[in-house]
Amino acid sequence: MKSAGNVHFFNPHETARAESLAGAPLASFRRRFFAIAIDAFLVAATYIPATMFLQYFIQERLHVHEELYRSANVQVKFDMHKTLELAWTLWLVLYFGLIVWKTNGLTPGKRLLRIRILSLTHERLSFWQSIERALGYGASALEGGFGFIQYFFNHNRCCTHDRIAETIVVKDPRKGTKATETS
């Protein structure tokens, strides 16, 4: 791995796309950490009103309450808690998947800290890559967050979710530079 002081550079080993990214300056752990902290705050801040609306809609508009159906042998219950757990998962995947896909590697936190996700296999992040990466955050959080700590052990500074989705996170040059036009 090439490094100059505290800056690390991407070292490709597989695809032509990865070869084209040789020498791209990788994002620091600090920038990545603060970007995900900003995004986590935004996810939580938007999720609370969304769940309030969801609960209102299900209970007041659809008139769905705990017991949906009961007969002599069958009882069907609606579980709001499980519904909200599923909604949380979907909210995370929508935020970290769809936003990354539509903006080609940016979330509000990443944009603020001038870092970007790049695909090692395509010029643009594919829809599936973005969803894989969003779901991969769960894999990175397993085992006490060890998947995030792998940043320090991987020669290309990749966390588990980066390796799952075949992505890297780089410093995003300021607008108007030549590097921005090629990414």
- Please say whether the dihedral angle defined by the alpha carbons of residues 78, 79, 82 and 84, taken in this order, is positive or negative: positive
Instruction: State how far the Cα of 32 lies from the Cα of 87, in Å rounded to an integer.
Output: 26
Residue 68: in which H helix or E strand, if any? strand 67-70
pLDDT given at position 58:
86
pLDDT given at position 33:
95
- Please say whether the dihedral angle defined by the alpha carbons of residues 5, 119, 94 and 132, taken in this order, is positive or negative: negative
pLDDT given at position 1:
52
Contact between residue 103 and residue 81 where contact means Cβ atoms under 8 Å apart: no
Using alpha carbons only, give the angle 183, 175, 14 rounded to the nearest 5 degrees: 20
pLDDT given at position 72:
77
Residue bearing tokens 């991987």: 154
User: What letter represents residue 116's amino acid?
Assistant: R
Residue bearing tokens 């609370």: 48
For the chain, give the longest Cα–Cα distance: 74
Instruction: State how far the Cα of 83 lies from the Cα of 68, in Å rounded to an integer.
Output: 14
User: Nearest Cα to 146, choosing from 154, 120, 31, 135?
Assistant: 154
pLDDT given at position 13:
62
Residue 146: in which H helix or E strand, if any? helix 127-149
How does pLDDT run along the chain (183 residues), one tens digit per residue? Answer: 555 667 888 776 667 888 888 889 999 999 999 999 999 999 999 999 989 998 888 888 777 777 777 777 887 788 888 989 999 999 999 999 999 999 999 999 999 999 999 999 999 999 999 999 999 999 999 888 999 999 999 989 999 999 999 999 999 876 644 444 343
Q: What is the pTM of this model?
A: 0.78
pLDDT given at position 120:
92
User: In DSSP terms, which residues pair with 76 in a beta bridge?
Assistant: 69
pLDDT given at position 79:
85
